[in-house]
């Protein structure tokens, strides 16, 4: 799929939009998708673009506790009965409409799946308390240092307990909070493996990550 126009700003500081999906959007395969089918050989109307906007800004928790942002590419193609080129065309139209608002349509990968979402190019503070931010910083550091791009709850609790910063029980509690907020993805049978959640992927660029790691190292290493 050609993503050039609406994926060039993937490294830009940003914050996810928080619009809620409308009632006309239904849940299929754990994703929100528009009910509207695109008429053949007819121009895309503002109603469909508006529904797509809601779909791509949707944030939700699945019954399993996974935080999701936007929609899977495959789910959207199936719902709209479109191929890659057709989907690319409608996304380009949406991207052009929201660009003056400082918003981008972006594609990201999560556990092997391609997802689409809308995010802002405008800088915004991360809505986390100091302890939450420090635990997230520790997770980011260990994920970046790992060849497998993941860490473990024990590795994080041990790391933050070195200077008696947080008790292990408190660290585990915050990890669960970060998972519910979409910054951390818990994996494995007991959720002991940790990697980036969708909000971490979308809200932090390479420069942000480098700065977070340097601040963490200045305190703990």
Give 104's strand partners.
Answer: 119
Give 27's strand partners.
Answer: 32
Taking the C-alpha atoms of residue 134 and residue 218, their distance in angstroms, rounded to an integer, is 12
3-state secondary structure at position 102: coil
**195, 150 contact by CB (below 8 A):** yes
179-213 pLDDT, tens digit per residue, is 999 999 999 888 899 999 999 999 998 999 999 99
5-45 pLDDT, tens digit per residue, is 444 333 333 333 333 333 333 344 445 444 444 444 344 45
Q: Within 13 Å and on the Cβ side, how many CA atoms surround 167?
A: 3
Taking the C-alpha atoms of residue 43 and residue 89, their distance in angstroms, rounded to an integer, is 11
Helices 130-145, 206-220: axis angle to 10 degrees equals 100
145: its two tokens: 């240092």
pLDDT given for residue 142 in this prediction: 98
130-160 pLDDT, tens digit per residue, is 999 999 999 999 999 999 999 999 999 999 9
3-state DSSP percent of the chain in helix, strand and coil, to 5: 45, 20, 35
Residue ranges of the chain assigned to CATH 1.10.10.10 = 130-220
What is the side-by-side strand order in the sheet with 184-187? Answer: 151-152, 193-196, 184-187
The three-point CA angle 91-97-103 to 5° equals 85
Q: Could you say which DSSP state residue 39 is in?
A: P
DSSP H helices in 146-205:
153-161, 168-181, 198-203
**19, 53 contact by CB (below 8 A):** yes
* pTM exceeding the 0.75 threshold for the entire prediction: no
Q: Could you say which DSSP state residue 191 is in?
A: S
Burial class (CB in 10 A: 0-12, 13-18, 19+), 69: buried
pLDDT at 170 over 80: yes
81-131 pLDDT, tens digit per residue, is 999 999 999 999 999 999 999 999 999 998 789 999 999 888 767 789 999
End-to-end CA separation in angstroms for the chain: 43
pLDDT given for residue 82 in this prediction: 93
Taking the C-alpha atoms of residue 178 and residue 133, their distance in angstroms, rounded to an integer, is 9
**197, 183 contact by CB (below 8 A):** yes
CATH class of 130-220: mainly alpha
pLDDT given for residue 191 in this prediction: 86
82: its two tokens: 């479109």
């Amino acid at each position: 799929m050609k993503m050039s126009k609406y994926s060039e700003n993937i490294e830009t500081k940003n914050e996810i939009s928080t619009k809620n999906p409308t009632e006309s959007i239904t849940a299929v395969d754990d994703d929100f998708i528009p009910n509207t089918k695109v008429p053949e050989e007819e121009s895309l109307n503002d109603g469909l673009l508006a529904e797509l906007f809601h779909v791509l800004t949707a944030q939700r928790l699945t019954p399993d506790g996974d935080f999701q942002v936007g929609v899977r590419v495959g789910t959207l193609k199936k719902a709209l009965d479109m191929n890659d080129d057709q989907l690319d065309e409608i996304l380009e139209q949406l991207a052009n409409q929201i660009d003056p608002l400082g918003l981008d349509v972006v594609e990201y990968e999560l556990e092997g799946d391609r997802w689409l979402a809308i995010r802002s190019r405008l800088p915004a503070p991360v809505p986390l308390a100091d302890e939450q931010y420090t635990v997230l910083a520790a997770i980011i550091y260990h994920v970046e240092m790992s060849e497998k791009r993941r860490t473990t709850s024990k590795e994080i609790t041990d790391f933050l307990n070195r200077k008696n910063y947080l008790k292990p029980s408190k660290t585990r509690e915050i990890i669960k909070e970060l998972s519910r907020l979409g910054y951390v993805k818990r994996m494995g049978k007991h959720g002991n493996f940790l990697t980036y959640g969708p909000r971490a992927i979308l809200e932090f660029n390479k420069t942000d990550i480098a700065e977070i790691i340097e601040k963490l190292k200045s305190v703990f290493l």
